[in-house]
Amino acid sequence: MNLIETKALSHKQGSKFLLKNINWEVKENEHWIVFGANGCGKTTLLGTIAGYRHYNKGEVKLFGEVLSRENAVLLRQKIGFVSASYMDRCFRHESGLDIVLSAKFGGFGRRLAITDHDVKRAMQLLDAFGIVEKANYPYDMLSQGQRQRLLLARALMVSPKLLLLDEPLNGLDVIARNFFLNTLQEIADTQNVSIIYVTHQTEEILPFYTKAMLLKNGAIYAQGDLEKIFSVEIMNEFFGYSTNIHWHEGRVQLAISSELRLSKTIWA
């Protein structure tokens, strides 16, 4: 069964296509990288698949069901969604514990149906991510690193089949990045979950990812096996610059060979 299936998915805002004719299939146990420059539609795509954003045209199927306003809340309960750029707008003063618990209901708030077991699990997750002492603190009093850990704890609260990560390392220091990447590796090794990881940094691409999609101006530029996508030919064409690709122990490094800098005339 496909966990994600989009057919001709498009979303237009004003005169601009944020997503254009996205045809994509993610099968069980596949781990994907969604790669592209800033503003190419990565976050919009993930937000749409996570059931938080509507779309104008096409179809999104999650776990074999067509995503609609009627089933979005139920489908969201099977998805772990980590997107600071999205969640920072929706959570402000809510406590860490309430935010983690809200995952159970596929929304932003908690309900009376919260059980002691739920609270225990939420606290165990916060403890595992080293932020249990911040459980009662408002979201806006947490550091960027603590927020990312909190959102990952929230994503794992529902034991998801699908983990959607939208640039999760943004704003993290080197220790937090290391912690986060090691945690992801462990999740991939031990949990029955497919990971979709959105990034524009190749250093974050761990060896367990096998598939990649390149997104440009809201449309799929290329998709397929990771090693084929991260080739010099495709990357040169994708960026429009000469690139260097280096593979080491299953990890890819990408560098732009051309010297890009501000025009000297700006200093005149």
Partner 1 sequence: MSIINHYSGYGAQSKEDTDALTQRSKRCICKKCGGKLTTSLIIYDIYGGAGMELYCPHCQQTEFGVEPEIYEIAQYYVENFQFNYFLDMEENDLNEQLNIAKVADMLSWLFKNLGLLDHNGLKNTLPDYQFYKRLHR
Buried residues in 179-197 as b, exposed as e (16+ CB within 10 A) = bbbebbeebbeeeebbbbb
Q: How far apart are CA 34 and CA 200, in angstroms?
A: 8
Q: How many CA atoms lie within 13 A of 238 on its CB side?
A: 25
Strands 2-13 and 211-216: unpaired
Query: Does 71 contact partner 1 by CB under 8 A?
Result: yes
Tell whether residue 111 is a contact of partner 1 (CB under 8 A): yes
Instruction: Please choose, out of 131-139, 148-156, 191-199, 210-218, the segment that lies near partner 1 by the rule CB under 8 A.
Output: 131-139
Which one among 23, 29, 68, 124 touches partner 1, defined by CB under 8 A?
68
Per-residue x/- mask for partner 1, residues 160 to 199, rule CB under 8 A? ----------------------------------------
Residue 86 CB, nearest distance to partner 1 (Å)?
Answer: 6
User: Which of positions 44-63 make contact with partner 1 (CB under 8 A)?
Assistant: 47, 52-55
Residue 93 found at the interface with partner 1 (CB under 8 A): yes
| Nearer to partner 1 (CB atom), residue 53 or residue 251 | 53
Closest to partner 1 by CB, 134 vs 149, is 134
* Strand order through the sheet with 219-225: 79-83, 162-166, 194-199, 32-35, 211-216, 219-225
Q: Show contacts with partner 1 in window 132-151 (CB under 8 A).
A: 136-138
CA distance 95 to 114: 15
| Residues forming the site for partner 1 (CB under 8 A) | 11, 13, 47, 52-55, 68-74, 76, 86, 89-95, 98, 102, 106-112, 136-138
